[in-house]
Structure 1
Amino acid sequence: MAQQRPFHVAVCGGGIGGLCLTIGLLRRNIACTLYEAAPAFAEIGAGVSFGPNAVRAMELIDPEIAKGFEKCVTLNGWPEKKETWFDFRIGKTHSEDEKDSVAVDTYVANVKSGEWGQTSVHRAHFLDELVKLIPKNVPKFGKRLNEISMAGEKVLLKFEDGTKAEADAIIGCDGIKSRTRKILLGEDHFAANAVFSGKYAYRGLIPMNIVVNALGDELARNSQIYMGPQGHVLTFPIEKGKTMNVVAFKTKLDGKWEDQKWVLPSTKEDVLKDFLGWGGTLLESTDIWALFDHPPAPTYYEGRLCLLGDAAHASTPHQGAGAGQAIEDALILSDLLGQITSSANIEQAFRAYDTTRRPRSQLVVTTSREASYIYEMEDKDIGADLNKAKKLLETRCRWIWDENLNLQVMKARDAMATESSL
C-alpha cells in the first residue's frame, strides 16, 4: 500500500466537485477533511448533464465514480439517438412577415457528442453514489467557512459556528456564492461575485406519458432544443425515461436582476406571457431561476488556498459543461497533489493547476454565454440564418468534448516540474 502523504487538505464544500476531489485525494493517499455548511449532503436542482470529457475524467479520478454515474444516468430513448446531444428545431418564428418566417418545428441541426449523447443524472442520486466512496470520518457538517488565516506553516479555518480547524491547504469547492473566492480575491474585487447573465429560466418536470400524448414519441423521448428570438426551450428525458425535464430560457431585456433572491415563484400565466407564440406550454406553476456566472478571476489560488468548480468558474448551463469542468478540476488537482511528497510543494501544485485549468474553464464560461445568443438568434454574425447556425452548432462544442485528459494531466505535471526546477 502506498505511503500516506505528509500533509492534510481541507476541502470546503460537499457538492459534486468537492466530493470528486475528496475521492481523488483519498485514492492518492492524501489525508483530507471535507467541511460542508449544510447539516447533510444535499443538492438543489433536479438534473445535471455531463459530456464525454466529464465521464472520462470520472474514470481517471476513480473508476468507481464512473460506475456510480452509469447507475444513475438517463440517455435518449431511441437507440438511433444514442450519440445525439440535442436535435435543434425552431420553437418560434423570428419574423412576423409571413414570407420571411420559418415554420415552428422546422429542423435545424442534429448535434452529436459521441458515445454518451445527452446525459441526465439526478443530482441527489449521483451525490448518493459519490458519498458511498467516502469514509464516514472524512466529512464534517454544519461548517460554514467564515475566515482563513495563517498559523506558521498551517492554515487556520474559522467557521460561523465558532469552531476552528487546521490544515496544510484549503481547496474551496463552495459553489457560485463562494466564500473562499471572496477571501482569495478580496471582497471588493470586480470578479469576487457572480454577475447576472441577462437570462432567466423556468424549470419543470412532466410525466412522460403526458408528453408523448402531446408531442409524439420522438420529440418526447429524445433531447430537443427549440430556438427562438430572445428565448429557447430544451427538453430531455430523466429518471430512466419516466419524466421529461423542461427548461425554458428567456432574455431579460433590461439586462438587470435586482432581487437578492435568484429563485422566485411564478405562475403558468407568467410562462405563457413570456412564451407567447411558442405553441403553448405543458408547464404548470414553476419557479424562475436567474442565471449568473463569474467574471474571469485573475488566479485560482493564492498561497495555500485554491478554488475548484463553480467557486472558480461558475458558468451558465447552455453547453451542459459546467459540472464537467469541476470534475476535470478535481482530476488535475488531485493528480498534482498526489505527485508531491512535502507540504512545501503545495503552492507549486496549485500554480500548475491554475496554469492548466484556468484558460480552459474560463473559455467554457465565455462560450456558454455565446451559445445562448446562437439559440436565441441574438448572435451578430448568425442572427436567424439557420444554415450558418447549423454549421456552427454541429462543431462548436467539440473542443470541450474531445479533450485529451491524459495529455492535460501530463501538461499539468510538466508545468509543476518546470516550476520545481527553476
Structure 2
Amino acid sequence: MELIDRDMAAAYNKHATFQPDTGALEKKLWSSYRMGMDGREPSNALKAGDYIHEVHAAVARSSVHRARFLEAMTALLPAEDECVSFGKRLVSIDEVEDGVIVHFADGTSVAADAVIGCDGIKSRVRQILFDGEEAANAVFTGKYAYRGLIPMDEAVEALGEYTARNNHFHWGYGGHLLTFPIEHGKTMNVVAFRTKQNGVWEHGSQWVLPGNKEQMLQDFEEWGPDVKAILSLMRNADIWAMFDHPPARTYHRGGHICMMGDAAHASTPHQGAGAGMAVEDVFVLSRLLGEIRERSQLEKAFAAYDAVRRPRTQKLVRTSRDAGQLYQCQKEGVKDDVEKIRANLDERMRWIWDLDMAQHLQEALSVFRGV
C-alpha cells in the first residue's frame, strides 16, 4: 500500500485493527488452527479444541472497516475537483470513438476516456464486458456462513485472552468457524461456515438472509464447547451465501473498458486475500496509466495490466475455493490427515505473500513497452 501512496497507507494504519500484544504480535501470527469438533480416527485423533497448527507471516495480521477506510481515502482527494460521487448506479456504457459515455440510474451521464470498473462482485461493468457469457455473473460456491459480532470482554471471559483476541480457525467436517478482532480490539468478529448439502442457493439475488440463531446452533450441534460458546454469544446470525466469479478470459475491452478488484476476480474469503489483490491491482494499473502520453495508449496499458494481473488473481479465486474445502476436511488427498493439513498450511499462502511487487510491476511495464 505504501508503494501506491504513503498517506493512503497511513490512513489504513490509523483505522486498522492489528493483532494485540498477547504473544501473537511478536510471533507475527497470521492465524492459529484448532479442531472445532472431535476428529475421526484413525486419520485424525484430535479432540475439539486441540491445536492443529499456526501460520506466521512477514507481518502480523490486520483488518479495517471498509467504510472508515473509504472515508479516509476520500479525504485525501482534492475537494475542489469534485472527483468523488456516491450513490451512483451504473446502467450502461456507450463506447464512442474518443472514449466512453457512462449512464447512471439517476439519469446522469459522464463522458470519459475510459471506464475502470471496481464495482464489486455484482459488477455491472463485468456484465457489460461479458454480455451473454457465463463469466458475466458470480456463481454459488456451495457454502454459506453465519456472521455476527461479540463484545470482546464477553469473548475473553468465555475463551481466554489468547483465543479471543487473535485470529483463529476452528476446523470440522463440512464446516469451519473463523474469529478475529475488529474495532481496535473491542469486538470479536465471527464467521461460521457450512457446506450446503444440495449445493444450490434457492434465494436468487438475495445473498444475505435474516439470521436464525436456532438454525445456526442446530448446524453446529455436534461441535465442541469452544465453538458452541462462541455461537451462543452471538446476538444476530445473518446468513451470507458464498459466491465467486467464473474464470474471466480478459479484464478489458480495447482501451475503453477495464475492471479490477472484486469486479474482475471476486473470490471466497477463505484465504483473506481478496482486498489485498485489489490493492495490488491499483498499484500496477496506476503505474501503467502514469506511462500514458496519449489516449491511444490506453489499450496497451490495459493489455499489460491484464497480462500480468489476470493469471495471479484468477489463481486466487481457484485456491480460495480449495482452501474452503481444506478447512472443512473435504480436500481430496488431504481430508482430515493432520500431517497433510499442516504441510498444506505451511505452503498455501506463500505465493500470495512472497511476491516482489517491484518486479511484478516491471513485468507489466515491459509488456507495455514491448520489451
Scaled by the length of structure 2, the TM-score of the pair is 0.94
1:122/1:98 CA distance change after superposition, 3 Å: same
Report the counterpart of residue 207 of structure 1 in structure 2: 151
1:112/1:190 CA distance change after superposition, 3 Å: same
1:262 CA drift (Å): 0.1
Q: Does the 8 A contact of 1:191 with 1:297 survive in 2?
A: yes
- Please list the CA deviations of residues 335-362 of structure 1 after superposition, one character each: whole Å capped at 9, or x if unmatched: 0010110001000000000001000001
2:52 is equivalent to residue 108 of structure 1: yes
1:286 CA drift (Å): 1.7
Give the whole-Å Cα distance in 1 for the aligned partners of 2:61 and 2:331: 24
From 226, 237, 241, give the equivalent of 1:290.
Answer: 241
Report the counterpart of residue 129 of structure 1 in structure 2: 72
Give the whole-Å Cα distance in 1 for the aligned partners of 2:334 and 2:317: 20
Q: Does the 8 A contact of 2:326 with 2:335 survive in 1?
A: yes
From 185, 188, 199, give the equivalent of 1:244.
Answer: 188
Q: Does the 8 A contact of 1:146 with 1:160 survive in 2?
A: yes
Give the whole-Å Cα distance in 2 for the aligned partners of 1:84 and 1:94: 25
Q: Does the 8 A contact of 1:143 with 1:159 survive in 2?
A: yes
Report the counterpart of residue 6 of structure 1 in structure 2: none
Q: How many residues are aligned here? A: 359
1:266 CA drift (Å): 2.0
Report the counterpart of residue 269 of structure 1 in structure 2: 214
2:279 is equivalent to residue 335 of structure 1: no
Identity %: 48
Give the whole-Å Cα distance in 2 for the aligned partners of 1:162 and 1:122: 31
From 275, 278, 299, give the equivalent of 1:326.
Answer: 278
Scaled by the length of structure 1, the TM-score of the pair is 0.83
Report the counterpart of residue 86 of structure 1 in structure 2: 31
Report the counterpart of residue 5 of structure 2 in structure 1: 62
Report the counterpart of residue 301 of structure 1 in structure 2: 252
Matches within 5 A, 1:163-202: 163-186=108-131, 188-202=132-146
One-letter code of the match for 1:265? P
1:214/1:141 CA distance change after superposition, 3 Å: closer
1:127 alignment partner, SS class: helix
1:91 CA drift (Å): 0.2
Give the whole-Å Cα distance in 2 for the aligned partners of 1:345 and 1:239: 43
Give the whole-Å Cα distance in 1 for the aligned partners of 2:301 and 2:334: 42
1:406 alignment partner, SS class: helix
**Unmatched segments (≥5 aa) in structure 2:** none
From 325, 340, 359, give the equivalent of 1:373.
Answer: 325
1:174 CA drift (Å): 0.8
Give the whole-Å Cα distance in 2 for the aligned partners of 1:383 and 1:335: 43
- Please list the CA deviations of residues 293-329 of structure 1 after superposition, one character each: whole Å capped at 9, or x if unmatched: 0001100000210011111000100000001111111
1:254 alignment partner, SS class: coil
Report the counterpart of residue 120 of structure 1 in structure 2: 63
Q: Does the 8 A contact of 2:149 with 2:236 survive in 1?
A: no
1:141/1:70 CA distance change after superposition, 3 Å: closer
Give the whole-Å Cα distance in 1 for the aligned partners of 2:19 and 2:46: 27
Question: Mean Cα displacement is larger for which, 390-399 or 363-372?
Answer: 390-399
Q: Does the 8 A contact of 2:149 with 2:235 survive in 1?
A: no
Give the whole-Å Cα distance in 2 for the aligned partners of 1:410 and 1:209: 48
Give the whole-Å Cα distance in 1 for the aligned partners of 2:296 and 2:43: 69
Q: Does the 8 A contact of 1:267 with 1:284 survive in 2?
A: no
Report the counterpart of residue 12 of structure 1 in structure 2: none
- Please list the CA deviations of residues 140-167 of structure 1 after superposition, one character each: whole Å capped at 9, or x if unmatched: 2343211111232221112222222111
From 222, 228, 232, give the equivalent of 2:176.
Answer: 232
Q: Does the 8 A contact of 2:22 with 2:162 survive in 1?
A: no
Report the counterpart of residue 9 of structure 1 in structure 2: none
Give the whole-Å Cα distance in 2 for the aligned partners of 1:383 and 1:151: 53
Give the whole-Å Cα distance in 1 for the aligned partners of 2:44 and 2:128: 53
Give the whole-Å Cα distance in 2 for the aligned partners of 1:151 and 1:384: 56
Q: Does the 8 A contact of 2:91 with 2:103 survive in 1?
A: yes
1:80 CA drift (Å): 2.5
Give the whole-Å Cα distance in 2 for the aligned partners of 1:410 and 1:138: 29
1:75 CA drift (Å): 1.8
One-letter code of the match for 1:113? A
- Please list the CA deviations of residues 209-248 of structure 1 after superposition, one character each: whole Å capped at 9, or x if unmatched: 1111111111111111001001001111111211111111
One-letter code of the match for 1:88? Y
One-letter code of the match for 2:183? E
Give the whole-Å Cα distance in 2 for the aligned partners of 1:342 and 1:355: 21
1:395 alignment partner, SS class: helix
Q: CA RMSD in A?
A: 1.5
Question: Mean Cα displacement is larger for which, 103-112 or 140-149?
Answer: 140-149
- Please list the CA deviations of residues 331-388 of structure 1 after superposition, one character each: whole Å capped at 9, or x if unmatched: 1111001011000100000000000100000101100011111110001111110111
From 141, 147, 156, give the equivalent of 2:86.
Answer: 141
2:290 alignment partner, SS class: helix
Give the whole-Å Cα distance in 2 for the aligned partners of 1:151 and 1:277: 60
2:134 alignment partner, SS class: coil
Q: Does the 8 A contact of 2:99 with 2:114 survive in 1?
A: yes
Report the counterpart of residue 32 of structure 1 in structure 2: none
- Please list the CA deviations of residues 66-109 of structure 1 after superposition, one character each: whole Å capped at 9, or x if unmatched: 101111121222353121011000001243x6996421011111
Give the whole-Å Cα distance in 2 for the aligned partners of 1:178 and 1:99: 43
1:266 alignment partner, SS class: coil
1:406 CA drift (Å): 0.5
1:395 CA drift (Å): 1.8
Q: Does the 8 A contact of 2:22 with 2:161 survive in 1?
A: no
Q: Does the 8 A contact of 1:182 with 1:193 survive in 2?
A: yes
Give the whole-Å Cα distance in 2 for the aligned partners of 1:269 and 1:344: 59
